[in-house]
Amino acid sequence: MLRGTDGGTSEADDADSLLEAGERLQRSGAWRWRIASDSVRCTAGWRHIHGCSVAPASLAELEATIAPPDLPAFRSLLQNAIAGGGGGSLVHRIVRRADGAERCLLTRLQVLCAATDRQPQVIASVRDVTDEERGEAGPQDAGATLAAAVEERIRQLAAARDEAEAASSAKSAFLANMSHEIRTPLTTIVGLVELMRREQLPAKQLDRLEKMNEAARHLLCLIDGVLDLAKIEAGKLILNETTVDLTRILASVVEMVGEQAREKGLRLLTEVQPLPGPLIGDPTRIRQAMLNYASNAIKFTERGSVTLRLQALQEEGSSVLLRFEARDTGIGVPAAARGRIFRQFEQAGNSPQRADGGAGLGLAIVSQIAARMGGEVGIEAAADGGSTFWFTLRLQKVARKRSGQLPAEMPTAAAETAERRRSDSRLLIVDDERNNRELILAMLETVDLRADCACSGEEAVAQAAKKRYALILMDLQLPQIDGIEATRRIRRLPAYEAVPIIGLSGNVLAGVVDECQRAGMDDFVGKPFSMDALLEAVTRCLRSSSAA
């Protein structure tokens, strides 16, 4: 069987089986060229035709076996096949190394991209047609039958690849729709809870709200885990980088897991060394990784303490290598499980307590986040029991002032700024869900911003044509025309070339942010969002608009 230099196999190996089975037939052979690694593999039949004991290992060595007058035609055939992703055939001459005799060969080749590894390669069948070219009688059917079988198998593999790609697209569309449908009601739940928590309510009702919020956040974590897994499988885990305050992120993680630690009687400690800054990173992903480690440490620790440590390991020019640790005094991780615990759906396995530890997605996602940010993950056993889970991140320093993430209290502080004095300018909220419109209105009113509402994309375009709004909050999935198309049409209106438009969506899969930017949106806020996150984006865009 033809294999690459790395020893890997692909769907094309089925074609190899057909080819090598034909080695017993007269004057037939085959070769494969892996384009990326420039590695060539030839069958025994190919070597027999060419009369050589050592097969070529690269394309250049393969071309050296072709008679020089026919080499340009061979190269043209190969280049055209690669450019078009197809195949072709060519009759050319070789000089047998064994006896110096000139022979005519028919080479049929096909460019193949296996669905599993996406590594392009060329696979070819070769048949000695010297007697046929001379008009002499000879075996006619063996090589032709073999070549036809190979071509048919290649067509089948191409069809299977297309079917796999269609299934992948269908899965992405399903995940995008489910993400939107689940996150939309969660936006209302989380948002209303946040608004009510700011009111003067009895302690008992506040406690119930806190439990409701905790349940909603847990559901959101499960949804995010499934979606992140889909992104990882597709290689589309994207980062939304901005200015990050790592100390603040760690403080928010401690706040989120603090009650969980207190209920178990655990001491929750933090150790933060001085950090250089400011730095650029994805605050959501960094918080997700820290929270996963902290939650796991508390979950599997019955007594003692959990220590969260953040430190700078190395500072080089414009970047900093950071290390985050979650050290616990819990049940530990068996040595046999440490090598696989960061794989998808894996757990430590041989402890009843750890067997109830969830779906096994969190650590795999942390591993991907760390890798995307130039770091690694690992686990170390403590001498006195327990474990230390760690990950590293390489973040870039801020070279100049950026309009990145702003402190959560910024909307309140913005009361004295110029953009807040423009509060008589109205905003436009575009969302087909009444509860979401009312929620966003209530959030804006807390900072004295007023807004009109539209229930569809067409209605939004019509309202924008009649009145110039200071900012538009645009949901993406709308009736009639969606938010992307509505944005394009609004951007064509003379008064809306520079008006900020913020996209809102529960579809947070890869590519959505890029699509919003191409349509002309200035920012994107994923659902469900906190009030601070929404007001931060609104205030930032209003500030940029007023300064323009």
Give residue 414's pLDDT band: very low, low, confident or very high (50, 70, 90): very low
Question: How would you write 211-239 as a 3-class SS string?
Answer: HHHHHHHHHHHHHHHHHHHHHHHHCCCCC
Q: What residue ranges do the domains of the chain occupy?
A: 12-139, 246-394, 410-547
Give the pLDDT score at 9. Answer: 45
User: Regarding predicted confidence, which is higher, 412 or 488?
Assistant: 488
User: Which CATH superfamily hosts domain 12-139?
Assistant: PAS domain (3.30.450.20)
Average pLDDT over residues 125-131: 85
Lowest mean pLDDT segment, chosen from 58-67, 168-177, 307-316, 352-361: 352-361
Each residue's pLDDT tens digit, 347-389: 444 343 433 444 456 787 888 888 888 899 888 887 667 888 9
Residue 169 has pLDDT above 50, yes or no: yes
* Backbone angles phi and psi of 54, in degrees to 5: -110, 120
Average pLDDT over residues 265-290: 88
User: Regarding predicted confidence, which is higher, 242 or 113?
Assistant: 242
* Backbone angles phi and psi of 217, in degrees to 5: -65, -35
Domain 410-547 belongs in CATH node 3.40.50.2300: yes
- Alpha helices by DSSP H, listed for 51-87, are 59-63, 71-84
Provide the mean pLDDT of the chain: 77
Nearest to 267 by CA among 211, 210, 324, 329: 329
CATH architecture of 246-394: 2-Layer Sandwich (3.30)
Average pLDDT over residues 380-408: 69
Give residue 538's pLDDT band: very low, low, confident or very high (50, 70, 90): very high
Give the pLDDT score at 503. Answer: 92
Residue 139 has pLDDT above 50, yes or no: no
Give the pLDDT score at 434. Answer: 87
Give residue 499's pLDDT band: very low, low, confident or very high (50, 70, 90): very high
Model-level pTM? 0.43
Give residue 173's pLDDT band: very low, low, confident or very high (50, 70, 90): low
Question: Could you tell me what percent of the chain has a pLDDT over 90?
Answer: 19
